[in-house]
């Protein structure tokens, strides 16, 4: 029987767990499965040589101009690094293991830079979500005022507003607060490290 060449794996990592995600990808690569594409909670691997590549996650703001992004991608290419996947602001980098590691072992600066990118990404995401909620609520208010004659529509709008409000609050507390806390702990630890050893 022919050996399977492509594998699709579903995994969920929160944005604060990028180190675990990286570790997972590198473990797969050591076993001979090389990442070729990334989607939402989805990783596609192709069989290759064991330990041929190493992987790293990086972030590039999607709001960055194409020129900035292109110049960074060109720079990575010049450094022997390939962008194998992109999802949201994350980019998945691949490098030949024989060309040495991505980072110095204890490069606090590089780590801080990465946490900061993730931190600002999560802030941006929350701001965008809040903006969407605000628009929804505004539309509902408008609808309620315009359709005040119709009791059922007005009631629906009131209920929907309450739902959106409470829903977004719960989503913030359950999803966002733990992520921010985790990132903050990472930042604090790195700042302590810098006091001793840059």
Site residues, other proteins (CB under 8 A): 58, 72, 74-76, 78-81, 93, 100-104, 107, 109-110, 113-114, 198
- 33 vs 119, beta carbon nearer other proteins: 119
Which residues have CB under 8 Å from 150's CB, separation 6+? none
Q: How far is the CB of 113 from other proteins (least distance, A)?
A: 6
Helix (H) or strand (E) holding 73: helix 66-78
**Cβ atoms within 10 A of the Cβ of 151, count?**
9
- 102 vs 176, beta carbon nearer other proteins: 102
- 110 vs 138, beta carbon nearer other proteins: 110
Q: How far is the CB of 14 from other proteins (least distance, A)?
A: 21
Measured CA to CA, the distance from residue 158 to residue 186 in angstroms comes to 41
Q: How far is the CB of 47 from other proteins (least distance, A)?
A: 27
- 51 vs 100, beta carbon nearer other proteins: 100
Which residues have CB under 8 Å from 36's CB, separation 6+? 44, 45, 46, 84, 85
Q: How far is the CB of 162 from other proteins (least distance, A)?
A: 45
CA angle in degrees (0–180, nearest 5) for 132-136-141: 145
């Amino acid at each position: 029987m022919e050996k399977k060449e492509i594998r699709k794996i579903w995994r969920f990592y929160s944005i604060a767990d990028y180190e675990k995600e990286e570790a997972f990808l590198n473990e797969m690569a050591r076993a001979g499965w090389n990442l070729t594409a990334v989607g939402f909670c989805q990783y596609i691997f192709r069989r290759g040589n064991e330990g041929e590549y190493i992987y790293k996650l990086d972030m590039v703001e999607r709001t960055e101009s194409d020129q900035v992004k292109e110049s960074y991608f060109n720079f990575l290419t010049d450094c022997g690094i390939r962008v194998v996947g992109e999802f949201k602001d994350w980019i998945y980098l691949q490098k030949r293991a024989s060309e040495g590691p991505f980072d110095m072992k204890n490069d606090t600066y590089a780590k801080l830079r990465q946490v900061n990118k993730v931190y600002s990404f999560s802030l941006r995401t929350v701001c965008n979500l809040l903006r969407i909620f605000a628009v929804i609520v505004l539309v509902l208010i408008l609808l309620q005022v315009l359709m005040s004659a119709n009791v059922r529509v007005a009631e629906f709008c009131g209920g929907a507003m309450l739902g959106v409000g409470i829903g977004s609050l719960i989503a913030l507390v359950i999803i966002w607060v733990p992520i921010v806390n985790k990132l903050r702990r990472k930042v604090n630890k790195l700042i302590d490290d810098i006091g001793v050893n840059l």
